[in-house]
Amino acid sequence: MCTSRRGTRMAGRLDNVKEEQSDVESSCSDSVSVIDGPVSEKSHESSFCGRISAINKEGEEFLRLKHRFHLSIGSLSQHCSVVDAYRNFRLCPVGKARLMAFRMFVKAMTEKRGGNQNTAFAWFGTSKDEAFRIMREGFGVCGTPNNGGPFGLHLCSDSASADSVLLAPVDEDGLRHVVVCRVILGCPEELLPGSGQSSPSSEEHDSGADNMQSPSRYIIWYPDVKTHVLPLYTLSVKLDSSFEGWRREPVHKPSSPWMPFSALIHALSKSVPPSTMFLIRKFHTEFMERKITRQQLIFQFRQLVGDRLLVSAVKNFRDKKLKRTISSSRGVSAKC
């Protein structure tokens, strides 16, 4: 069991990354199975295994992936556009075996850690050729720091996914490439730069993070990279010239009543048909890219779902938030 208090808090945080996670995970769970249907003509054959193909830009899979990417990179989204997205159609025996192995290790970690396998999304910026190699063969020994460890595969967390874009080299077309992964973290431990560590410090831990409260890097030990990291997609993105002055900005939340758009979209996904959700994600993506204003986005939401459903979603969100606050206050009083 992962008995560390800080480890438990981190596991809780990673289990609840972004309100829209469960909705997006359903899309990504589909992506780790073989999809029937036509394949894009823009494909890359390989003698190693599988065929890497561009995802249809007009389809729901591309929109879900693009939407999640913009949610993850925050304010950088207004400077960053997704040009292409690729996936590996794991059609060969080796590709299927890697997928099966990942699922088996998810199950094994679930049993090992009492029901909490602690899986998360992770991001890795690299060249296009290397990204495609990773998609076909998985990760090897790469991303090793030059500061004395920890020695393992370093991946950007969801909250630091913008770093994966900024760290990726720019190719001859002005594009950067990011591999989107699913990782098995189990019970992580905090690892400091220069630690020289190359394996878990004890059987109580399975992976590492640079900060237990707000991780920006996950460290997967090299013996585990083939089974605990599953590359899902490669995104080819382009930053505009104005990003040079970009800085991470703290999120200033308006006074009540307020509900994050990501939480609203997650709530609406339970009540509206897929065709409407497609348009909701489309307009929200355009808002994050600064193609439409906040007022225009709200107008489109009202047109698509109606005021009654919007008011109900906001009310339910505020009620749940109030209950959590009351429950937390009672917990503090009980300790006192």
Least confident of 122-131, 290-299, 323-332: 323-332
Q: Average pLDDT for residues 191-204, to the nearest whole number?
A: 87
- Between CA 53 and CA 195 the distance in angstroms is 40
CA 208 vs. chain centroid, Å, equals 17
19 compared with 198, residue with greater pLDDT: 198
- The pLDDT score that the predictor gives to residue 329 is 59
**In sequence order, which residues have a C-beta less than 8 Å from that of residue 246 and are 6 or more positions away?**
75, 76, 79
Structure tokens that stand for 237 in this block: 């993105």
- Between CA 31 and CA 50 the distance in angstroms is 14
Q: Are 176 and 236 in contact (CB under 8 A)?
A: yes
Predicted model pTM:
0.74
The H-or-E segment that residue 209 falls in is strand 207-209
262 compared with 131, residue with greater pLDDT: 131
Q: Are 45 and 51 in contact (CB under 8 A)?
A: yes
Report the side by side order of strands in the sheet with 207-209. Answer: 43-45, 51-54, 80-89, 229-239, 176-184, 119-126, 153-156, 217-220, 207-209, 188-190
Exposed, middle or buried by CB within 10 Å (0-12, 13-18, 19+), for 37?
exposed
- Between CA 134 and CA 86 the distance in angstroms is 12
Residue 19 CB: number of other CB atoms within 10 A? 18
Q: Are 168 and 125 in contact (CB under 8 A)?
A: yes
CATH number assigned to the domain covering 5-245 = 3.90.228.10
Q: What is the residue extent of each domain of the chain?
A: 5-245, 261-335
Q: Are 17 and 120 in contact (CB under 8 A)?
A: yes
Task: Provide the 8-state DSSP code for 26.
Answer: H
Structure tokens that stand for 130 in this block: 């290397």
Least confident of 4-13, 28-37, 205-214: 28-37
pLDDT tens-place string over residues 271-280? 899 999 999 9
Cα torsion through 234, 230, 126, 90, rounded to 10: -50
- The pLDDT score that the predictor gives to residue 20 is 36
pLDDT tens-place string over residues 296-312? 888 888 889 998 888 88
Q: Average pLDDT for residues 67-73, to the nearest whole number?
A: 91
Mean pLDDT of the chain: 79
238 compared with 319, residue with greater pLDDT: 238
